[in-house]
Structure 1
Amino acid sequence: MFDTFAYRATVFYRSFADLTRSRLQELGLHFGSLFLILYVGKHPGCTQAQLTADLRLDWGYSQRSILKLVEDGFLTREKSGRAYRMALSEKGAAAFAVSHQVFFDWDREHLAPLTPEERAQLMSLLDKAAQGGTQEKCTNT
């Protein structure tokens, strides 16, 4: 249809989002929770401020999402000085495993036609393209 990277990226995003939604829905989570669960799983004891800054989220969205994840039993929050430290609950750890695995499952399915060398080249080119966009943004600021 469109011979652009942006179009192909959108097609991949939709495919990934569909797979992720179906897996997370089984756990009672929505797609927007994916990166919150992954972040806390990889950074146990993090604060909401750290998570919000690193994921570039709106503070209000972050607050609502975290409170919902605590209320639903996926995260724990413990007061530490002026901040709350977050960690995954047992239910959250199960959600982390599913959330983490979905990336590998999607890659395995969609990159199956590529050889290991082609996969490595694709990842290298995507990294280069991502850095180019970052550099361009920095020079235009």
Structure 2
Amino acid sequence: MSDEEKKARLRLREFLPYRLSVLSNTVSRGIANLYDREFGLTIWQWRVMAVTGDTPGISATDIGQRTAMDKVAVSRAVAGLIELGYMERKTSESDGRRSQLFLTPAGQDIYEMIVPIALEAERKLMAPLTSEEQAELSRLMQKLAGSASPERPLW
């Protein structure tokens, strides 16, 4: 066997990071099309809304850490949501240098309309798996998350 033949080959179709990325992008795009078409939100705006709806008063920095979004993407999404009237920024009472993000009543209404759509999309995605397979998938994802980010939990 020549040195050339001994070299490892990367077959993307079998490479887990590639497969996870393509799957994640495909799933996210499918769901994003739903809330873009119905509500005019980008995938980044919805992610920011989802985290803020789940954790009112969160900071933009914390949103970035929870979603693995970079600062620029978070900043643009927040600015867009504020412009749409779905989000507001308030100065923290405990630390005047820190700002907190909250959904406005209009933002809360949109959030409450999208959540069932997102949950239904998740249900449809998971439908081909048995309950045992779903539990196993969750366990394996947790294990991979721990391996990918041993210093802090991803979720």
TM (normalized to structure 1)? 0.76
- Say if 1:105 and 1:44 are closer, same or farther in 2 by CA, change over 3 A: same
Matched, 1:16 2:31: no
RMSD: 2.7
Q: Is the 8 A contact 1:24 1:98 kept in 2?
A: no
Listed as ranges, the gaps of 5+ residues in structure 1 are none
Supply the distance in 1 between the matched residues of 2:116 and 2:79 (Cα, whole angstroms): 25
> Where do 1:33-52 residues align within 5 Å?
33-52=45-64
Percent identical residues: 23
Question: Residue 27 of structure 1: CA displacement?
Answer: 0.7
- Say if 1:58 and 1:110 are closer, same or farther in 2 by CA, change over 3 A: closer
Q: Is the 8 A contact 1:19 1:102 kept in 2?
A: no
Q: Which of 1 and 2 has higher RCO (CA within 8 Å, sep 6+)? A: 1
Matched, 1:111 2:126: yes
Task: Return the match for 1:86 from 80, 90, 101.
Answer: 101
Max Rg structure: 2
Supply the distance in 1 between the matched residues of 2:129 and 2:66 (Cα, whole angstroms): 32
Q: Secondary structure at the match of 1:114?
A: coil
Give aligned pairs, total: 137
Listed as ranges, the gaps of 5+ residues in structure 2 are 1-11
